[in-house]
């Protein structure tokens, strides 16, 4: 694939900023939910829905689509926001997050929302589901790819390592894992609670091709996904180093925002910061 042009990078960056704004708006409307993780993964989900994935918002069950599995379901606001901006449903529906009867529950439910591949809640389960899908598609001779977004904290769960070992043993080249390496979980910092390092070497020992990137560098993430497509003998995992709460300086890297929504007053401040940032980017691009 050709490198992104400056205009394309600007458009994706602007979309990520708009998605962050939608995340803040939906969280404050819900009065509950997770803030740090969704903001930190906005660049990656923008890249997925507007560049990487083969998908059709008007035909969510298209047989030739790529599958995106969200293992850490609590960051689903970023997926809802990205899907809405991509045209799966009206952006206004995002404000129904966590409401009774809404299709946009606090953890994704497959049967509620077209385009949502799995129901997720228990951490550590997504990679097993993704590996099973990748194996089945390979058995059927299909070219679809499977992407599995995971948190670093959920790597405390043993199930994820069983899946990693199985996927490596079966050389699932059509599977790409994406780890949000933001170094936080609900009780504190990952390396204080249950150290994950050396994370790269662990995956390599299970037979994975490992790439490490800046999770806020959209061209770098897209290039990593392209490289994964060129690896035919093993699955690939992208360790994306991200900043939790990215875009809102006063909450960046603060684990206390893992599962905390902003108040109305905080939301106004956060939205102002994001809009100001977008204005600066726009003026620089002109």
Helix axes 6-30, 76-86, angle to 10 degrees: 120
Q: Are 204 and 210 in contact (CB under 8 A)?
A: yes
Closest listed residue to residue 204, CA positions, set 230, 177, 182: 177
Residue 3 has pLDDT above 70, yes or no: yes
Average pLDDT for the chain: 96
Cα–Cα dist 147/95, whole Å: 27
256: CATH: 3.40.50.970
Cα–Cα dist 42/96, whole Å: 19
Q: From the CB of residue 212, how many other CB atoms can be counted at a distance below 10 Å?
A: 16
The pLDDT value recorded for residue 27 is 98
Look up tokens 């993780």; give the residue.
Answer: 37
For residue 1, being part of any structural domain is answered with no
The pLDDT value recorded for residue 93 is 98
Q: Are 213 and 40 in contact (CB under 8 A)?
A: no
In our burial notation (b when 16+ CB lie closer than 10 A, e otherwise), range 132-162 reads: bbbbebbeeeeebbbbbbbbbbbbbbebbbe
- Domain that residue 86 falls in: 6-285
Q: Are 123 and 114 in contact (CB under 8 A)?
A: no
The pLDDT value recorded for residue 286 is 66
The pLDDT value recorded for residue 131 is 98
For residue 125, being part of any structural domain is answered with yes
For residue 10, being part of any structural domain is answered with yes
Helix axes 264-285, 6-30, angle to 10 degrees: 170
- Domains identified in the chain, total number: 1
The pLDDT value recorded for residue 280 is 76
In sequence order, what are the residues at sequence separation of 6 or more whose Cβ sits closer than 8 angstroms to the Cβ of residue 155? 124, 161, 179, 196, 199
Q: Place 122 in a pLDDT band, splitting at 50, 70 and 90.
A: confident
For residue 54, being part of any structural domain is answered with yes
Cα–Cα dist 89/123, whole Å: 27
Cα–Cα dist 28/80, whole Å: 15
For residue 170, being part of any structural domain is answered with yes
pTM of the shown model: 0.97
Closest listed residue to residue 57, CA positions, set 82, 32, 87, 77: 87
Distances (CA, A) of 165 to 39, 98, 129, 196, 235: 30, 35, 14, 16, 11
Q: How confident is the model over 43-59, as a mean pLDDT?
A: 98
Q: Are 176 and 148 in contact (CB under 8 A)?
A: yes
Distances (CA, A) of 133 to 15, 128, 138, 158, 203: 30, 9, 9, 20, 20
Closest listed residue to residue 241, CA positions, set 190, 183, 282, 285: 183
Q: Are 19 and 81 in contact (CB under 8 A)?
A: yes
For residue 198, being part of any structural domain is answered with yes
For residue 246, being part of any structural domain is answered with yes
For residue 115, being part of any structural domain is answered with yes
pLDDT in tens, 210-252: 999 999 999 999 999 999 999 999 999 999 999 999 999 999 9
């Amino acid at each position: 694939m050709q490198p992104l042009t400056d205009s394309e990078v600007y458009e994706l960056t602007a979309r990520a900023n708009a998605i962050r704004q939608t995340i803040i708006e939906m969280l404050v409307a819900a009065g509950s939910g997770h803030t740090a993780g969704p903001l930190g993964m906005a660049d990656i989900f923008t890249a997925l829905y507007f560049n990487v994935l083969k998908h059709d918002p008007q035909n969510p069950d298209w047989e030739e689509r790529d599958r995106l599995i969200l293992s850490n379901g609590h960051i689903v606001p970023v997926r809802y926001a990205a899907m809405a901006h991509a045209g799966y449903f009206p952006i206004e529906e995002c404000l129904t997050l966590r409401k009774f009867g809404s299709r946009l529950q606090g953890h994704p439910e497959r049967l509620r929302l077209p385009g949502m591949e799995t129901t997720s809640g228990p951490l550590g389960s997504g990679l097993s589901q993704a590996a099973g899908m990748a194996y089945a598609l390979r058995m059927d001779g299909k070219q679809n790819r499977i992407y599995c977004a995971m948190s670093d904290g959920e790597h405390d769960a043993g199930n994820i390592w069983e899946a990693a070992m199985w996927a490596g043993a079966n050389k699932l080249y059509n599977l790409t894992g994406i780890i949000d390496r933001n170094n936080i979980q609900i009780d504190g910092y990952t390396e204080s609670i249950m150290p994950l390092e050396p994370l790269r070497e662990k995956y390599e020992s299970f037979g994975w091709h490992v790439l490490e990137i800046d999770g806020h560098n959209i061209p770098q993430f897209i290039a990593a996904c392209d490289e994964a497509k060129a690896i035919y003998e093993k699955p690939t995992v992208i360790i994306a180093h991200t900043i939790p709460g990215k875009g809102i300086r006063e909450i960046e890297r603060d684990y206390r925002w893992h599962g905390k929504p902003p108040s109305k007053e905080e939301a106004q401040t956060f939205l102002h910061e994001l809009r100001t940032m977008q204005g600066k980017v726009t003026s620089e691009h002109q």
